[in-house]
Amino acid sequence: MRIGVLALQGAFEEHIKMLNALGVETFEIRQLKDLSEIPDGLIIPGGESTVMSKLLDELNIRSRIIECVNDGMCVFGTCAGLILLCKDTGDERCKGLGLLNCQAKRNAYGRQLGSFQTTEEFKGLGKIPMVFIRAPYVSFAEDDVEVLSTVDDKIVAVANDKTLATAFHPELTNDLSVHKYFIDMIKNR
Ligand code: GLN
């Protein structure tokens, strides 16, 4: 199994460490040619969704990601990655990939609650630690989207058959379970 991590900007190294700890071969995606072969999975990390959206277009990577998903690749997005996966990002400066039939709300927790940690239930995994940093949440999810976790009645983790997204950063904890969940999703596709 090979999983590529989008390494244009943001917290990509932490994802690579998590995947390596789980024994998965990883590589960084910095330009279009890095996706010339379709990997089994792709991780879109946290960072700044508006900047990443612009870079996806400038580097012509956007349509290639969609093509790869249509050919069977699974995707996992955290925080800014979640925003980018949504059909509606709620911000015109950030174009969504449309891989999740969801609406995101960027910087949804306001200034004071910009960053916080909690432990909450994640479907199938039990209670796991969650780190939120200027996080979004999912303000609307269509019926084909499974809600995997909510915090204070806000949706913070969702999935469909090939796409997983969390508003929080599992890669900034010691808990490997969400990355393992993604790997299982790839194995079961
Ligand atoms: N606030 C960022 C955005 O809207 C996301 C923050 C993060 O990825 N930690 O893109």
Instruction: Write the single-letter amino acid at 113.
Output: L
68 as an active site residue: the answer is no
Q: What is the tens place of the pLDDT at every residue in 146-160?
A: 999 999 999 999 999
The pLDDT value recorded for residue 109 is 86
Percent of the chain with pLDDT over 90: 96
179 as an active site residue: the answer is no
Distance 135 CA to ligand 1 centre (A): 6
Annotated domain spans of the chain? 2-187
The pLDDT value recorded for residue 112 is 62
Q: Is the pLDDT of residue 55 over 90?
A: yes
Mean pLDDT score, 91-111: 94
79 as an active site residue: the answer is yes
* CB-side neighbour CA atoms (13 Å) of 29: 28
CATH T-level assignment (fold) for domain 2-187: Rossmann fold (3.40.50)
Confidence of residue 110 (pLDDT cuts 50, 70, 90): confident
Give the pTM. Answer: 0.97
The pLDDT value recorded for residue 111 is 66
Distance 49 CA to ligand 1 centre (A): 6
Mean pLDDT score, 23-28: 98
DSSP string, the chain: -EEEEE-SSSS-HHHHHHHHHTT-EEEEE-SGGGGSSPPSEEEE-SS-HHHHHHHHHHTT-HHHHHHHHHTT-EEEEETHHHHHHEEE-S-TTS-----EEEEEETTTTTTTTSEEEEEEEETTTEEEEEEEES--EEEEE-TTSEEEEEETTEEEEEE-SSEEEESS-GGGSS--HHHHHHHHHHHT-
Mean pLDDT score, 106-123: 87
Which ligand 1 atom lies nearest to the CA of residue 107? Answer: 1
- Protein residue closest via CA to atom 5 of ligand 1: 80
Residues framing ligand 1 (Cβ under 6 A): 46-49, 79-80, 83, 106-107, 133-134
Mean pLDDT score, 54-63: 98
**With 0-12 CB in 10 A as exposed, 13-18 as middle and 19+ as buried, what is 92?**
exposed
